[in-house]
Structure 1
C-alpha cells in the first residue's frame, strides 16, 4: 500500500498563504460558539468561520479615499523610505494614501504628527493618523472599530491591527 504524506512545511506554507489571501481580501476569521440543543443531536465542534469585515465609513470623502487607498495596500512589503506602489514605510503609506485623496501632508511620521488638529484617542474617526513613541517614530491610520492600518517594520507587510496591540501610543491628528 502506498501512503501519501504531506510535510509539515507544506501544510504550514499552505495555511499561511490561505490566511494571507483571506486577510488581504478583508475577511476576518472568528470562532463560532456552539450552542446547547436539548433533545437534538450532539453539537459538533466549531471551526473558524470567515466573516466579511465591516465596511469602513469615514467622516468625509477625502478621508474615505485615504482609508480605502491605505487598505488596498495590505500585503505589500515594508520598504524603508517607500511611498509605493511596490512597498511602504509607515509614513510613506499615510502620505501616499492622503496624496491619492488630494490632501498634502508631510512625508515623515514626526512631521505628520504636527499636521491637522489633535484628536483624543476616544474620539478617533476613520482616516485619523495615530502616532507612536516619544519622540514620534511611527504612524498608522485609524480605520474604525479600534483598528488601524500600518506598515510596521521590515519583514511585516502592510496590515490591519488593533490600535491597542501597539505600545507607545503618543497622539492622534485629524488632517481632513
Structure 2
C-alpha cells in the first residue's frame, strides 16, 4: 500500500480518533502525498549532495580529493567524508562498497557509476532529475550535468 493510500484508507476504516491513536501507538502518520521514510534519502546522502554542490567550479586534478581540487572519486570521497561516511578512494572500489540499487530506486545523494562492460571508470553524486554533480576530466571543473549515457549503475552509501 502506498503512503498516499494509507491515510485515506485508515480514515475510512477506523475514524479520525482511532487513526490518531494508531499514529501515536504505531509510529509516524503520513499526510496524503508525503514521502515515506523509506523513500526519503538518508540525511548523510543529502549532506554529501550539498557538499558536492558547494564545490561547483573547483578544478579537476587527477588524484585530488579536495578541498580545492578533485578527480571524480575524490569529489565523492570528500563529500561523503564531510557528511560522516567513509568511502574507499577509487570509483571501482566505491562501487564495490555500496549497496547496488536499480535506477528506479535511485535517490538524491546516491552514487552514479559509469561503466564500460564490467569496468567502472567514473562516478558522480545523483542530484535528481537525471543529473549528477561530478568532476569530469582534465581542464574541466566540478559541475552539475545531465547523465549522458545509459551505461550507469547506482550505489547507495550505507
Q: Secondary structure at the match of 2:66?
A: coil
Matched, 1:107 2:110: no
Q: Which has the higher helix share?
A: 2
After superposition, the C-alpha distances for 1:23-57 in whole angstroms (9 at most, x for unaligned) are xxxxxxxxxxxxxxxxxxxxxxxxxxxxxxxxxxx
Partner of 1:84: 66
Partner of 1:146: 130
Indicate the RMSD between aligned Cα atoms, in angstroms: 1.3
Please list every run of 5 or more consecutive structure 1 residues that lacks an aligned counterpart in the other structure.
Answer: 1-57
Structure 1 segments, 4+ long, off by >6 Å, are: none
For residue 169 of structure 1, report the CA deviation from its aligned partner: 2.0
Matched, 1:97 2:93: no
Partner of 1:43: none
Partner of 1:159: 143
For residue 173 of structure 1, report the CA deviation from its aligned partner: 0.4
TM-score calculated relative to the size of structure 2:
0.70
Please list every run of 5 or more consecutive structure 2 residues that lacks an aligned counterpart in the other structure.
Answer: 1-39
- Tell whether the 8 Å contact from 1:133 to 1:168 is kept in structure 2 after alignment: no
Provide the rounded CA distance (Å) in 2 between the counterparts of 1:99 and 1:91. Answer: 12
How many aligned residue pairs are there?
A: 117
Provide the rounded CA distance (Å) in 1 between the counterparts of 2:52 and 2:151. Answer: 20
Q: Secondary structure at the match of 2:140?
A: coil
Provide the rounded CA distance (Å) in 1 between the counterparts of 2:49 and 2:112. Answer: 13
Q: Secondary structure at the match of 2:120?
A: coil
For residue 168 of structure 1, report the CA deviation from its aligned partner: 6.1
